[in-house]
Amino acid sequence: MAPPSDASAPLPAGAISKVLIVIAMQTEALPLVNSFHLHEAPAHESIFPKGAPWIRYHGNYKGLHIDLVWPGKDPALGVDCVGTVSAALVTYASIQSLKPDLIINAGTAGGFKAKGAGIGDVFLASDAAFHDRRIPIPVFDMYGIGARKTFATPNILKELGLKVGKLSTGDSLDMSPHDESAILNNDATVKDMEGAAVAYVADMFSTPAIFVKAVTDIVDGEKPTAEEFLQNLVAVTAALDKTVTEVVDFISGKCLSDL
């Protein structure tokens, strides 16, 4: 594990200094909180409005200030607030308050074996789009899909040897026939429940965003998705933690144009 960095060490001119990591699930977030030696911001110092269950961890790591936010637990049901609504809201509030140089949306995803995905693979998404916003009216159809290119990071890809693929986002873990044809149209290799929503908000505020997605389940495989997801969640989260740490190590001391 890397030692805590000297936060006072000067950064090269133009270097990235503030990184915001957006994560949907506590199980995905906690290994990174430990890896980066982050501390939970106390409620009385919260940057978030009263009533929001969102949680922020922060700290200094290798010359970067890292904020990691997750949307917390549903106050009534006690489960992680996964999905696009919470992801968009917490991303919006975090950008407004923290003004990050770069966003990393990290999380687990379903993968398509027909597109080369396997359990435990970690992808950097080249594009993000929605697959469950069907509006069959000209131009509204494109708005619904909301396809965006992500911030290009050719040097991270080269250095870390990650897989690249398109990401498709919807608010369901399973896949209806309607979703399936939209995902095919999106040419996606991985499927999640937050990425395109984070991309939409990041784009609105001209904040570069990258998407690191680790595969917990094979969507076009034999096993039921929910079962396979829960079975692999903890092990795959370790792969996600390792890759996100490598990505942040790479970012340290670099400018956006070096990525």
Q: Which helix (H) or strand (E) holds 197?
A: helix 195-204
**Is residue 67 near ligand ADE by the rule CB under 6 A?**
no
Which is it for the CA torsion 210, 215, 219, 225, positive or negative? negative
Q: Is 180 a catalytic residue?
A: no
Q: Are 100 and 67 in contact (CB under 8 A)?
A: yes
Cα angle, residue 60 at apex, residues 57 and 65 outer, rounded to 5°: 80
CB of 70 to ligand ADE, least distance (A): 14
- The one catalytic residue among 132, 192, 217, 228: 217
Q: Is 45 a catalytic residue?
A: no
For ligand ADE, give the closer residue by CB, 55 or 214: 214
> Of 20, 93, 128, 193, which one interacts with ligand ADE (CB under 6 A)?
193
**Is residue 153 near ligand ADE by the rule CB under 6 A?**
no
Closest residue to ligand ADE, judged by C-beta, is 110
**Is residue 70 near ligand ADE by the rule CB under 6 A?**
no
**Is residue 117 near ligand ADE by the rule CB under 6 A?**
no
**Is residue 80 near ligand ADE by the rule CB under 6 A?**
no
**Is residue 173 near ligand ADE by the rule CB under 6 A?**
yes
Instruction: From 194, 125, 127, select the one nearest 156 (Cα to Cα).
Output: 125
Which is it for the CA torsion 248, 21, 124, 228, positive or negative? positive
Stretch that binds ligand ADE, among 103-111, 124-132, 136-144, 153-161 (CB under 6 A): 103-111
3-state helix/strand/coil string of 157-194 = HHHHCCEEEEEEECCCCCCCHHHHHHHHHCCEEEEECC
For ligand ADE, give the closer residue by CB, 27 or 97: 27
> Of 33, 156, 219, 247, which one interacts with ligand ADE (CB under 6 A)?
219
**Is residue 109 near ligand ADE by the rule CB under 6 A?**
yes
Q: Are 212 and 123 in contact (CB under 8 A)?
A: yes
Rounded to 5 degrees, φ, ψ at 81 are -80, 75
Residues annotated as catalytic (active site), given as ranges: 28, 217
Q: Which residues form the interface with ligand ADE (CB under 6 A)?
A: 108-110, 173, 191-193, 216-217, 219, 225, 229
